């Protein structure tokens, strides 16, 4: 099977159950909302090293933002609710509370997870609770006025680790294809691509020759190991890049993979194959078969 | 579900306590059975059908009670209400919606004292004026409203929102003396004038006004601020009464006074022009 002449491997991406929430960060203008959102979703590429995986989902129209200001939605994913709560508090406390003019609100309903519940103590007793409707907010005095935050957000079951590999004749071709794919995925709701620029070059396998290292380079797709180890790269492949997608539902990831693969395979003769990363299907319960997605 | 309509036959010589007439309780009853219910009046009791014509009304899925011809002596209407709707045409008596926890009470007229006292939830609307102690504590108790929404289209008497702990109290007209006094938390919004002593003894909470009253000397000026929560509050007010959104400008700066410094002092009077 091929997409615009690009071969589609008969394989699947393997993804995992996760817990996720959406936060809506508002600010005086879009610039400051982006500063806060970029900061709080930084160093959040993989749960293995960062605790959570996070990214900017996209802008929220001012009329849909709780306080009517320019807003961005961010999604955070963790393996369990306690870890998610810990990182929400840490990241919002360090990156949103600190950013001028910002406020933060829950963007999902679900199992309650603390958002501003403990951050309020920064107010040193001068914080003000305000219940509006059935929702409690905290007004924390800060040097530019007040930091407004909702007491809790909602956590939902989600899926992390949807992916596909772009195999191209050159690194430039792989990069260009991935940039198109990430842009296409960025237009979709409910998904993020948590790695830098949405693209991963260090695809990994489980385990290593070193006992203390839980994951190591995916030698099957490393062009510089061709001829040295088992490989899945033909002589025409010069570089491989991966796009990892987390989404609120299986369907969201399916939609994002389709849009990303379609974009990667269009307008570039440099891309040779599309493949996907999995662990034999025994670790993650979510399997995304490329040929079914693109059928 | 169905509704019931009670029409007062003649003016009452003594107040009668209607708190037993819960819409959900009587919605499925036969009108004759409703008529046979007894209500406290004076030091005795009286049958419903001695005072009212009772008729069934189709009200769709909502348990609804309509009271027509109210003369200001029907006390306790909607007291303890948990769900359903009560619509009063005429003047409701004292203790309207006392301790209600949910549902809707609407009065197309005025009401007496202690309306919404110790209320915990639901929505209470009075198209006319309200008496003293609106949303305040019951006599001898420490806390006033602890939740829900009260909207008064007209004026309110003295001590509106006294010792209020949570919830939203909106008065479109004037409020009497000691409005929001001893307030613990929650929000009181008055679009008209407030009487003397307003905010006195305020520990926390928000008194939202459109002009600065003569506050107790124990309030301090805090400056003008653009407060994010006011946008959320404005949306809530607009949901209660769409006209309020037009009165209160979006993203406006509010002049803020903090106090009462003679007590906890973390309350605020916001003047939103």
pLDDT along chain A (295 residues), means of 10: 89 96 97 98 93 97 93 98 97 98 97 97 96 95 97 98 96 96 97 97 92 91 95 95 98 98 87 92 91 93
Please write the tens of the pLDDT for every residue from B159-183.
999 999 999 999 999 999 999 999 9
Task: Taking the CA atoms of B16, B20, B26 and B30 in sequence, report the sign of the dihedral they define.
Answer: negative
For position B264, what pLDDT does the model report?
83
pTM recorded for the entire structure = 0.92
A positions 5-24 inside 8 Å of B (CB): none
Name every chain B residue with its beta carbon within 8 A of the beta carbon of A137. 229, 232
Does the CB of A129 have a partner CB in chain B at under 8 Å? yes
For position B242, what pLDDT does the model report?
87
Please write the tens of the pLDDT for every residue from B36-75.
999 999 999 999 999 999 999 887 778 999 999 999 999 9
Report the alpha-carbon distance of residue A188 to residue A182 in Å, rounded: 10
Name every chain B residue with its beta carbon within 8 A of the beta carbon of A106. none
Q: Tokens standing for A210?
A: 């070193």
Instruction: Identify the helix (H) or strand (E) that includes residue B267.
Output: strand B267-272
Report whether pLDDT(B2) > 80: no
Report whether pLDDT(B1) > 70: no
Q: How far is A22 from chain B (nearest CA, A)?
A: 19
Nearest chain B alpha carbon to A68: B231
Please write the tens of the pLDDT for every residue from B92-122.
999 999 999 999 999 999 999 999 999 999 9
Report whether pLDDT(B86) > 70: yes
Report the alpha-carbon distance of residue A169 to residue A189 in Å, rounded: 31
Q: How many CB pairs under 8 A join A and B?
A: 46
Name every chain B residue with its beta carbon within 8 A of the beta carbon of A26. 228
Nearest chain A alpha carbon to B231: A67
Does the CB of A29 have a partner CB in chain B at under 8 Å? no
Please write the tens of the pLDDT for every residue from B200-215.
999 999 999 999 999 9
Written in H, E and C, the secondary structure of chain A is CEECCEEECCCEEEEEEEEEEEEEEECCCHHHHHHHHHHHCCCCCCHHHHCCEEEEEEEECHHHCCCCCCEEEEEEEECCHHHHHHHHHHHHHHHCCCCCCCEEEECCCCEEEECCCCHHHHHCCCCEEEEECCEEEEEEEECCEEEEEECEEEEEEEEEEEEEEEEECCHHHHHHHHHHHHHHHHCCCCEECCCHHHCECCCEEECCCCCCCCEEECHHHCHHHECCECCCCCCCCCEEEEEEEEECCHHHHHHHHHHHHHHHCCCCCCEEEEECCCCCCCCCCEEEEHHHHCC
Q: Give the number of other CB atoms < 10 A from CB of residue B119.
A: 33
- Give the mean pLDDT of chain B: 94
Percent of chain B having pLDDT more than 70? 100
Q: Tokens standing for A61?
A: 């129209």
Report the alpha-carbon distance of residue A52 to residue A85 in Å, rounded: 10
Complex ipTM, two decimals? 0.91
Q: How far is B15 from chain A (nearest CA, A)?
A: 35
Report the alpha-carbon distance of residue A56 to residue A86 in Å, rounded: 19
Report whether pLDDT(B123) > 80: yes
Q: What value does the mean pLDDT take over residues B132-156? A: 97
For residue A275, which of A12, A14, A3, A16 has the smallest C-alpha distance?
A12
* Farthest-apart Cα atoms in chain B, separation: 63
Nearest chain B alpha carbon to A150: B229
Chain-chain contact of A130 with B227 (C-beta, under 8 angstroms) = no
Q: Give the number of other CB atoms < 10 A from CB of residue A163.
A: 24
A58 in helix, strand or coil?
strand
A positions 61-80 inside 8 Å of B (CB): 66-69
For position B200, what pLDDT does the model report?
96
Chain-chain contact of B204 with A139 (C-beta, under 8 angstroms) = no
Report the alpha-carbon distance of residue A149 to residue A139 in Å, rounded: 7
A4 in helix, strand or coil?
coil
Report the alpha-carbon distance of residue A137 to residue B187 in Å, rounded: 13
Report the alpha-carbon distance of residue B18 to residue B15 in Å, rounded: 9
Q: Which residues of B touch A (CB under 8 A)?
A: 166-167, 185-187, 204, 206, 225-229, 231-233, 236, 250-251, 266, 268
Indicate the residue of A126, A133, A137 with minimum beta-carbon distance to B229.
Answer: A137
For position A234, what pLDDT does the model report?
94
Query: Which pairing describes strands A71-78 and A12-26: parallel, antiparallel, or unpaired?
Result: antiparallel
């Amino acid at each position: 099977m091929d997409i615009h002449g690009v071969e589609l491997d008969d394989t699947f991406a393997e993804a995992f159950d996760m817990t996720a929430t959406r936060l809506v960060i508002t600010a005086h203008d879009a610039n400051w909302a982006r500063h806060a959102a970029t900061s709080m979703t930084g160093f959040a590429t993989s749960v293995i090293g960062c605790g959570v995986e996070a990214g900017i989902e996209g802008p929220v129209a001012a009329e849909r933002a709780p306080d009517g200001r320019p807003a961005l939605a961010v999604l955070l994913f963790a393996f369990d609710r306690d870890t998610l709560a810990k990182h929400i508090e840490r990241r919002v406390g360090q990156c949103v509370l600190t950013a001028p003019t910002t406020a933060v609100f829950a963007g999902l309903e679900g199992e309650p997870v603390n958002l501003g519940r403990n951050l309020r103590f920064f107010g040193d007793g001068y914080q003000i609770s305000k219940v509006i409707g059935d929702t409690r907010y905290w007004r924390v005095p800060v040097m530019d006025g007040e930091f407004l935050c909702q007491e809790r957000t909602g956590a939902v079951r989600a899926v992390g680790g949807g992916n596909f590999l772009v195999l191209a004749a050159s690194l430039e071709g792989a990069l260009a294809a991935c940039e198109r794919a990430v842009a296409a995925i960025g237009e979709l709701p409910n998904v993020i691509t948590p790695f830098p620029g949405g693209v991963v070059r260090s695809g990994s396998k489980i385990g290593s020759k070193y006992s203390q290292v839980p994951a190591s380079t995916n030698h099957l797709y490393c062009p510089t190991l061709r001829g040295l180890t088992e490989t899945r790269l033909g002589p025409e492949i010069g570089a491989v890049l991966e796009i990892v997608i987390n989404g609120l539902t299986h369907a969201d990831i399916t939609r994002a993979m389709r849009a990303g693969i379609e974009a990667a395979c269009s307008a570039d003769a440099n891309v040779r194959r599309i493949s996907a990363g999995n662990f034999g299907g025994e670790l993650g319960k979510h399997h995304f078969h490329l040929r079914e997605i693109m059928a | 579900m169905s509704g019931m309509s009670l029409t007062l036959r003649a003016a009452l010589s003594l107040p009668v306590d209607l708190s037993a007439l819960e819409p959900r309780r009587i919605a499925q009853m036969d009108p004759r059975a409703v008529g046979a219910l007894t209500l406290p009046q004076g030091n005795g009791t009286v049958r419903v059908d001695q005072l009212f014509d009772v008729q069934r009304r189709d009200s769709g899925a909502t348990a609804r009670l309509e009271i027509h011809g109210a003369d200001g002596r029907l006390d306790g209407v909607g007291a303890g209400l948990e769900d359903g709707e009560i619509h009063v045409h005429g003047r409701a008596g004292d203790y309207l919606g006392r301790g209600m926890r949910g549902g809707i009470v609407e009065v197309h007229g005025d009401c007496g004292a202690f309306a919404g006292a110790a209320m915990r939830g639901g929505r209470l609307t009075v198209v006319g004026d309200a008496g003293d102690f609106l949303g305040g504590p019951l006599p001898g108790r420490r806390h006033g409203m602890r939740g829900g929404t009260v909207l008064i289209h007209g004026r309110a008497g003295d001590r509106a929102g006294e010792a209020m702990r949570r919830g939203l109290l909106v008065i479109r007209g004037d409020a009497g003396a000691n409005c929001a006094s001893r307030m613990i938390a929650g929000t009181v919004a008055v679009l008209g004038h407030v009487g003397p002593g307003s905010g006195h003894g305020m520990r926390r909470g928000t008194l939202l006004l459109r002009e600065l009253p003569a506050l107790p000397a124990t309030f301090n000026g805090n400056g003008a601020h653009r407060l994010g929560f006011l946008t959320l509050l404005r949306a809530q007010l607009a949901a209660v009464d769409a006209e309020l959104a037009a009165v209160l400008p979006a993203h406006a700066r509010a002049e803020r006074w903090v106090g009462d410094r003679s007590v906890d002092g973390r309350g605020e009077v916001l003047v939103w022009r």
